[in-house]
Structure 1
Amino acid sequence: MAMSSGQPVPSLTQEILGHLGLASKTAAWGTLGTLRTCLNFSVDKDVQRLLRAIAGPGVDRSTIVDVLTNRSREQRQLISRTFQERTQQDLLKSLQAALSGDLERLVVALLQPAAQVDARELRTALQVAGPAKDVATEILATRAPAQLQECLAAYKHDFQTEVEEDIKVETSGVLRDLLLALAKGSREGYSGIIDYNLAEQDVQALKQPAGPCSEGTWVIILTQRNLEHLRRVFELYRQRTGHELEEAVQTRFHGDSQVALLGLASVIRNTALYFAEKLHRALQEPEPNYQALMRILISRSETDLLSIRAEFKKKFGKSLYSSLQDAVRGDCRSALLALCRAEDL
């Protein structure tokens, strides 16, 4: 019989907001992002600032960064349209001509629609062999249903093919099945009711000996059940077997399939921590992975980057802001720091 659960354990972010007296304001903000709609926004002033920044004797990069990292994506889209109307020039092309390198790529990602950016990242991830394919899992597993549908539509428009077709061509085995299932966007929503019987059934199914049939069961369970249910399944699995589910993944799966399943398990357990760990890995490379830093900071800046910052500080003992300050160099440094927003003491 389905029963409601007890009191949920508060997340680190909820605890922090509670201590700050902000917990009740989260719903009003509607986001745990670092970047919100600018309240004293003047599109005409922003257009003039950007025009002066690229039309003068030298490109004023600081002004470009200041404008674009202090406006929501919706406001940036309005700036682009108004710039076109006022000047008969394409703002994105004008900025691309004025900039180069990582800062140019970052500005493109800020100005383009989110769905178009995701579609491009997804296409690149599918076509590159090896660890880069985990970006496909990231995008398909962490976007809200409406965002995912927009991404898939942009993918078809920009590349003249369905993402499912590219998944079938570029991947195989469990990874292919997992990505195809995620692309369908058929994960159940949380109803507030916990089905204890189904949780037990899922644990028993995941415990079955390795084989083609059991691999399909893993894909179905991890891509279709709601996240609250899966977190209970993970806990029950540990109670019944004495092992974490991820240990079974490492034993039963290999290569890209293992990476994808471990990534998906991390998303299910704690999405903010999943992104915090990816940011940490990007910063620990001999040369920071700027593409990963840009993708995550931009895509999460209006949703849950505050949560990611809190998990980063908790896990690694150092703030994300300080970590970026220490590791990042070059023209895009100020923009990445602006997206991160502030130090966590």
Structure 2
Amino acid sequence: MAMSGGQPVPSLTQEILGHLGLASKTAAWGTLGTLRTCLNFSVDKDVQRLLRAIAGPGVDRSTIVDVLTNRSREQRQLISRTFQERTQQDLLKSLQAALSGDLERLVVALLQPAAQVDARELKTALQASSGPAKDVATEILATRAPAQLQECLAAYKHDFQVEVEEDIKGETCGMLRDLLLALAKGSREGYAGIIDYNLAEQDVQALQQPAGPCSEGTWVIILTQRNLEHLRRVFELYRQRTGHELEEAVQTRFHGDSQVALLGLASVIRNTPLYFAERLHRALQESEPNYQALMRILVSRSETDLLSIRAEFKKKFGKSLYSSLQDAVRGDCRSALLALCRAEDL
């Protein structure tokens, strides 16, 4: 068993087994996230710990990290409300005043409602001039559950006084604009357990049509409206019929931001945890780690599927995400990112 900070770190297998063993005791353990509802939660104790951490002669960063990375987002929201009631101070503003740099940004992401964090990331992505930065918009719109997406879009309108569709129209163009607008509608079909073989064949034929404006619209409709199980069958049928993966057609037929967005969406459809594992690996391989990407993914997936992402990361790259973070990440936010990742995968 690996060690972290002098404490034994459970393996991924042990953690999943532990999760399964407790699944019948509480619905809060019903995900493959690394961060779950704390069962011995005392909001008053947490408020006191945080108050002492920021009120002393020196800021106790380790206590702040320990509290915030061991509570669910719902529990963190309760801590914030209780802190306000007890002290007449805003916890987020108090922590922002006490911290700086990447750790401050990570604490903001942990304490704010998920929809507000997503809305801010989406706004930044749409305003970015570079294609890779705009790709974050596809990530958020394509990977959030329907209810999460609706909350994000409502937060976007509330915080920025504009509908996200208006910003998409103003900041993007061409097929990327059409793709993002379609994703923002959140009209993807749910999987009803029925396989429509005829529709799958029709979709494969439609995707094989010669390139042109009409075919671009067909690609957008199919990839943003069909349920994921159906699309995985379409991908397999496409390979069988053409001898090529769908992604090869994307690389041949599309260019620039449209190609990047389509490739990202195809990756999400095939295997969402693997998609995030690859993005984390890319963020860690840069000359200076992309802390914004690391924070966005680890925070947003910590209560949903980070265990699955860790497993895909180890399988694809031959090294655990935990070790990769240990080797690449420096600075104040290192301990918090490792805490969200949670454990070594042996």
Q: Same fold (TM over 0.5)?
A: yes
Partner of 1:178: 179
* TM score, norm. by length of structure 2: 0.93
SS in 2 for 1:312: helix
Unmatched tracts of structure 2, length 5 or more:
none
Q: Structure 1 pair 2/285, CA: closer, same or farther in 2 (3 Å)? A: closer
State the alpha-carbon separation in 2 of the partners of residues 220 and 3 from structure 1. Answer: 49
State the alpha-carbon separation in 1 of the partners of residues 11 and 228 from structure 2. Answer: 15
| RMSD (CA atoms) | 7.5
Please list the CA deviations of residues 157-201 of structure 1 after superposition, one character each: whole Å capped at 9, or x if unmatched. Answer: 000000000000000000000000000000000000100000000
Q: Structure 1 pair 12/142, CA: closer, same or farther in 2 (3 Å)? A: farther
State the alpha-carbon separation in 2 of the partners of residues 100 and 280 from structure 1. Answer: 25
How many residues of Structure 1 are paired with residues of Structure 2 in the alignment?
345
Shift of 1:30: 1.2
State the alpha-carbon separation in 1 of the partners of residues 149 and 326 from structure 2. Answer: 32
| Contact kept? 2:37, 2:71, Cα under 8 Å | yes
SS in 1 for 2:70: coil
Shift of 1:23: 9.6
* 2:250 paired with 1:237: no
Q: Structure 1 pair 169/200, CA: closer, same or farther in 2 (3 Å)? A: same
Shift of 1:156: 0.1
| Contact kept? 2:11, 2:345, Cα under 8 Å | no
Please list the CA deviations of residues 188-229 of structure 1 after superposition, one character each: whole Å capped at 9, or x if unmatched. Answer: 000001000000000000000000000000000000000000
State the alpha-carbon separation in 1 of the partners of residues 182 and 124 from structure 2. Answer: 19
Partner of 2:188: 187
Please list the CA deviations of residues 47-101 of structure 1 after superposition, one character each: whole Å capped at 9, or x if unmatched. Answer: 0000000000000000000000000000000000000000000000000000000
Partner of 1:300: 301
Q: Identical aligned pairs, as a percentage? A: 96
Please list the CA deviations of residues 292-338 of structure 1 after superposition, one character each: whole Å capped at 9, or x if unmatched. Answer: 00000000000000000000000000000000000000000000000
Q: Structure 1 pair 48/134, CA: closer, same or farther in 2 (3 Å)? A: same
Q: Structure 1 pair 10/82, CA: closer, same or farther in 2 (3 Å)? A: closer
SS in 2 for 1:268: helix
| Contact kept? 1:3, 1:193, Cα under 8 Å | no
State the alpha-carbon separation in 2 of the partners of residues 9 and 269 from structure 1. Answer: 31
Shift of 1:130: 2.2
| Contact kept? 2:80, 2:91, Cα under 8 Å | yes
Residues 149-298 of structure 1 aligned to structure 2 (within 5 Å):
149-298=150-299
Shift of 1:232: 0.2
State the alpha-carbon separation in 2 of the partners of residues 200 and 23 from structure 1. Answer: 40
SS in 1 for 2:288: coil
SS in 2 for 1:8: strand
| Contact kept? 1:3, 1:195, Cα under 8 Å | no
Shift of 1:131: 1.1
Please list the CA deviations of residues 280-300 of structure 1 after superposition, one character each: whole Å capped at 9, or x if unmatched. Answer: 000000000000000000000
| Contact kept? 2:33, 2:304, Cα under 8 Å | yes
| Contact kept? 2:2, 2:344, Cα under 8 Å | no
| Contact kept? 1:283, 1:324, Cα under 8 Å | yes
Q: Structure 1 pair 74/8, CA: closer, same or farther in 2 (3 Å)? A: closer
State the alpha-carbon separation in 2 of the partners of residues 3 and 298 from structure 1. Answer: 23
Shift of 1:29: 2.5
Q: Structure 1 pair 59/14, CA: closer, same or farther in 2 (3 Å)? A: closer
State the alpha-carbon separation in 2 of the partners of residues 21 and 111 from structure 1. Answer: 29
State the alpha-carbon separation in 1 of the partners of residues 3 and 219 from structure 2. Answer: 25
Q: Structure 1 pair 288/2, CA: closer, same or farther in 2 (3 Å)? A: closer
State the alpha-carbon separation in 1 of the partners of residues 176 and 138 from structure 2. Answer: 9
| Contact kept? 1:114, 1:299, Cα under 8 Å | yes
Q: Structure 1 pair 13/225, CA: closer, same or farther in 2 (3 Å)? A: farther
Q: Structure 1 pair 13/276, CA: closer, same or farther in 2 (3 Å)? A: farther
State the alpha-carbon separation in 1 of the partners of residues 142 and 80 from structure 2. Answer: 30
State the alpha-carbon separation in 2 of the partners of residues 248 and 31 from structure 1. Answer: 35
| Contact kept? 1:279, 1:296, Cα under 8 Å | yes
| Contact kept? 1:273, 1:311, Cα under 8 Å | yes
Q: Structure 1 pair 78/254, CA: closer, same or farther in 2 (3 Å)? A: same
Q: Structure 1 pair 238/318, CA: closer, same or farther in 2 (3 Å)? A: same
State the alpha-carbon separation in 1 of the partners of residues 254 and 3 from structure 2. Answer: 34
* TM score, norm. by length of structure 1: 0.93
Q: Structure 1 pair 183/318, CA: closer, same or farther in 2 (3 Å)? A: same
